[in-house]
A and B are shown apart, each in its own frame.
Chain A
Amino acid sequence: MATVLTVDDSPSIRQMIKVTLEPAGHSVIEAGDGAQGLARAQSSRPDLVITDLNMPTMNGMELIRALRKQPSLTGLPIVFLTTESNDALKQEAKSAGATGWITKPFKPEQLLAVVAKLVRS
């Protein structure tokens, strides 16, 4: 199954993603901010990145742009988490190169559906 990188400064969100995806057979790796996320994405080559937008050090928007600049990661699906259904923000993230989004709060099924949608085994 897929390797999913979750980038979030909130350990509880990361935990939530982990306990949702691991029983479904995915393996989850974590990073606490954008900079760490970029490093982990380069080292671990995940199949999907789920990132928060609001983070210290390097925020989600910067992370998405940085990931899209990595030729070796071309086509990597990136999903961002957002609390507001803020269309401007969504647009900005999309044009930065995000593949999709999940609106918080989300239910485990929704998360699983997004992963299934973007990652094919």
Chain B
Amino acid sequence: MSSIDPTEVFRQEAAELFETLEGALLDLCQRPDDRELVDSAFRALHTIKGSGAMFGFDKVAAFTHEFETAFELVRKGEIKPTQALISVALAAKDYIRALIEAPESTDSIIGDAILDDLKQFVALPGTAAEPGQSAPMPQAPAARPAAHAGWRLYLEFDSHILCNGSNPLDLLDDLCKLGSCFAVPVIDGIPMLEELEPDHCYLKWDVTLHSDCGRAAIDDVFMFVQDEMKLTLAPLATQAEAAAPEVALQIEPLEAATVAEVAPAVEAAPARATEAAAKAPAAAEQRRDEPKRNEGIATVRVQAERLDELMDRVGELVIAQARLTQLAAAGSDLSIKMIAEEIERLAASLRDTTMGARMVPIGSLFGRFRRLVHDLSRDLAKPVEFVTSGEDTELDKTMIECLADPLVHLIRNAIDHGIEDSPRRAAAGKTENGRIELTAVHSGAQVLVTVKDNGGGLNTARIRAKAEEQGLIAPGATLSDHEIHQFLFHPGFSTAPTISALSGRGVGMDVVKRTIENMRGTIDLATRPGQGTTVTLRLPLTLAIIEGLLIRVGGGRYIIPLSAVEECVELMPEHQRSRGRNFLNVRGNLVPFLKLRELLQVPGSPELHQKTIIISTGESRVGLVADQIIGNHQTVIKSLSKLHSDVTIFSGAAILGDGTAALILDVAQLVAAAQAQSEKQIYEAA
């Protein structure tokens, strides 16, 4: 159980706290009067400080303490969280983070500089006290006290002490550990039975302690209760005095052993009695408390690899289940069929649950960009408003990680190139603040993530000129605007006249496109001159399992992602004979179709009843002609080996119920390949 390194747990937690802290600080920029934000920032700091000290990050604790002291003033409303203060606070946050992540390589000079900055806003005490060093635990016995034989104590506890969880007998036990101890209960405070409150402590004790311990050791014993008791204590002066018990005791001392026997009985009574006595009020109490109690979502931290492993296993299970189903369907044993059906249902729900466990709300990613926008807009002196929506949209964890870099790039582009600087915005009659919207929404089996700016939009003419200059298109070629914009995704393509630190190197958009396509997603650009640009990423919900349509072409079986399939129609014989480009009339719309037999170079003549699967790729619809449609198939995607990495028309493979493999068609690539092929044919024919 304790195999997890506690320091690692702390680091993970700190990383989350930093996000909270940063979020709160950035929100404070906009809503400086929001108490909730100040409190949440303060709580994050507080925890970082406390936990940091516990795990040996002393520098973190010391620095955070100063930071916290400054923030305390904000919390008390003594100073306002101004923009400048928040900038310093953000820098301080980055410094603490560095202290935790790389304690050795972090220079404390930076920390001192930040503290100096902080002091401009708040009068920090010159040297802040070490964060809470005083621990209330029994310290090592202090220096040997002057020679005396021991102590004489008189203990009188407040009556409610039992209710608060302290047990006088335990305290007496602790006293006994200091030396030989002689305790006599004083019973004159005990009332008559009818007045006796069972959970009150009426006993007092007179204790003679033969020990050479110091006063501090005795104080330690009673440290938690010192405010709830009267402790009278005097040193026993001489050996003689200590040896002879005082005559002035209020009752005759009993044997110490007898005291110990009597006392537990007194102690045992209160708890039991109250328990029964107050059942009814308890129920009422609970009901009253209920609405206040917030049902927090209990969470368990699981390492990501374990989830991946689980997903793998579920994948194997789904494959095994498919084989079982096939076997059961072939036989005639009804009970096997029932079991197979049941297992199919269970496997499907297990798969959904497992996929759900891998889902992470995209909000965790969005949070990171607020800082990016804040910093960029400051560096470029372009005031930008950053709006996010759909933070709750969930995506596979691995995809969230892969999405971070592309989105950083898109947002940078939007601020650097998209949003105009203030004079130009004013000239165009726009609001002074630029606006960037980052949204995520579910759309069927896909998630759409859009980055939208209200800047100047793409300069189509310039892109075209650049493309011609680089020899990507022939001068004068007729291209739609949409086609021209696609050149932005071409490797090494940049229209930025100068290279800034942020963008203009022409490395990026092609990488973004490749990253997105590796996730089986697509990227699309839409722009309106003078009004802005919208980049839309379409992403599948998960990378591991898809619903597929299993088809047969010749002897081979292939899978088309079901999310791409629109409908299936029969291919009429008259279409089969047509030459050149093939079109199909689907309810009045002409849809081009591709013969998979030809594309995949399957030998032999087509079978009699060919089927067409209409798929949609982006904005166009294409038909794929196959020999047979076998049906829906739960597809666990296995990636192809490195050897096949240049085969673009297949995105992976899947193992079928009978143990054979089927290739998964990458629809977009397939259509692109077919287009390239037919263009080549036309070119050669001409």
A-B complex is real:
yes
Query: Which A residues have a C-beta under 8 Å from some C-beta of B?
Result: 9-13, 15-16, 18-19, 22-23, 32-33, 35-36, 38-39, 54, 56-58, 66, 68-72, 74-78, 81-85, 91, 94, 97-107, 109-110, 113-114, 117-118, 120
A10 touches B294 (CB 8 A): no
B residues in contact with A19, CB < 8 Å:
2, 6
> Which of A9, A66, A83 counts the most chain B CB atoms within 10 A?
A83
Instruction: Tell me the B347-395 residues at the A interface (CB within 8 Å).
Output: none
B170 touches A118 (CB 8 A): yes
Does residue B227 face the partner (Cβ distance < 8 Å to A)? yes
Please give the distance in Å from B162's CB to the nearest CB on chain A. 6
How far apart sit A97 and B298, CA to CA, in the bound complex (Å)? 27
Does residue B165 face the partner (Cβ distance < 8 Å to A)? yes
Instruction: Tell me the B66-120 residues at the A interface (CB within 8 Å).
Output: none
B54 touches A12 (CB 8 A): yes
What are some 8 contacts across the A-B interface (CB < 8 A)?
A: A69-B285, A71-B282, A72-B282, A74-B199, A75-B270, A100-B224, A106-B54, A118-B170
> Which of A9, A15, A22, A113 counts the most chain B CB atoms within 10 A?
A15
Q: Which listed residue, A72, A99, A102, touches B164 by the CB 8 Å rule?
A: A99
Q: Which listed residue, A72, A75, A110, touches B165 by the CB 8 Å rule?
A: A75
How far apart sit A37 and B200, CA to CA, in the bound complex (Å)? 26
How far apart sit A106 and B289, CA to CA, in the bound complex (Å)? 33
Report whether over half of chain A's contact residues are helix, strand or loop; otherwise say mixed. Answer: mixed
Measured CB to CB, the nearest residue on chain B to A107 is B135
Q: Which listed residue, B6, B49, B55, B165, touches A76 by the CB 8 Å rule?
A: B165
Does residue B137 face the partner (Cβ distance < 8 Å to A)? yes
Does residue B278 face the partner (Cβ distance < 8 Å to A)? yes
If A35-B294, A97-B163 touch, does A110 touch B135 (CB 8 Å cutoff)? yes
A residues in contact with B136, CB < 8 Å:
100-103, 110, 114
Give the total number of A-B pairs whose CB atoms are below 8 A apart: 162
Does residue B61 face the partner (Cβ distance < 8 Å to A)? yes
B54 touches A77 (CB 8 A): no
> Which of A11, A70, A91 counts the most chain B CB atoms within 10 A?
A11
A residues in contact with B54, CB < 8 Å:
12-13, 16, 104-106
How far apart sit A84 and B54, CA to CA, in the bound complex (Å)? 14
If A58-B294, A99-B224 touch, does A22 touch B271 (CB 8 Å cutoff)? no
Does residue B166 face the partner (Cβ distance < 8 Å to A)? yes
How far apart sit A87 and B223, CA to CA, in the bound complex (Å)? 13
Query: Which B residues have a C-beta under 8 Å from some C-beta of A?
Result: 1-2, 4, 6, 9-10, 12-13, 43, 46-47, 49-51, 53-55, 61, 131-132, 134-138, 162-167, 170, 173-174, 199, 223-224, 227-228, 270-271, 274-275, 277-279, 281-282, 285, 289, 292-296, 298-299, 301
If A117-B170, A118-B170 touch, does A74 touch B51 (CB 8 Å cutoff)? no
How far apart sit A117 and B171, CA to CA, in the bound complex (Å)? 8
How far apart sit A102 and B132, CA to CA, in the bound complex (Å)? 10
Known contacts A71-B282, A72-B282, then 14 further A-B pairs from the complex at CB < 8 Å, ordered by chain A residue: A12-B10, A16-B55, A22-B1, A35-B293, A54-B43, A56-B43, A72-B275, A75-B162, A75-B271, A85-B132, A99-B165, A104-B53, A114-B136, A120-B167
B residues in contact with A13, CB < 8 Å:
50-51, 54
Measured CB to CB, the nearest residue on chain A to B56 is A105
A117 touches B174 (CB 8 A): yes
Please give the distance in Å from B49's CB to the nearest CB on chain A. 6
Q: Which listed residue, A10, A18, A78, touches B51 by the CB 8 Å rule?
A: A10
B132 touches A105 (CB 8 A): yes
How far apart sit A71 and B163, CA to CA, in the bound complex (Å)? 9
B residues in contact with A105, CB < 8 Å:
50, 53-54, 61, 131-132
Measured CB to CB, the nearest residue on chain A to B68 is A83
A99 touches B166 (CB 8 A): yes
Please give the distance in Å from B203's CB to the nearest CB on chain A. 15
> Which of B10, B174, B224, B275 counts the most chain A CB atoms within 10 A?
B224
Please give the distance in Å from A57's CB to the nearest CB on chain B. 5
Measured CB to CB, the nearest residue on chain B to A104 is B50
Q: Which listed residue, B12, B49, B135, B289, touches A103 by the CB 8 Å rule?
A: B135
B134 touches A70 (CB 8 A): no
How far apart sit A14 and B296, CA to CA, in the bound complex (Å)? 17
How far apart sit A107 and B135, CA to CA, in the bound complex (Å)? 9
B4 touches A35 (CB 8 A): no
Measured CB to CB, the nearest residue on chain A to B273 is A74
> Which of B1, B6, B199, B298 counts the most chain A CB atoms within 10 A?
B6
Q: Which listed residue, B132, B137, B278, touches A71 by the CB 8 Å rule?
A: B278
Measured CB to CB, the nearest residue on chain B to A109 is B137
A118 touches B298 (CB 8 A): no
B residues in contact with A35, CB < 8 Å:
292-296
> Which of A10, A13, A36 counts the most chain B CB atoms within 10 A?
A10
A residues in contact with B1, CB < 8 Å:
18, 22
Please give the distance in Å from B301's CB to the nearest CB on chain A. 7
A residues in contact with B174, CB < 8 Å:
117
> Which of A36, A54, A81, A105 counts the most chain B CB atoms within 10 A?
A105
B residues in contact with A56, CB < 8 Å:
43
Please give the distance in Å from A59's CB to the nearest CB on chain B. 10
B274 touches A71 (CB 8 A): yes
How far apart sit A65 and B495, CA to CA, in the bound complex (Å)? 66
Measured CB to CB, the nearest residue on chain B to A68 is B163
How far apart sit A98 and B51, CA to CA, in the bound complex (Å)? 22
A97 touches B164 (CB 8 A): yes
A120 touches B170 (CB 8 A): yes
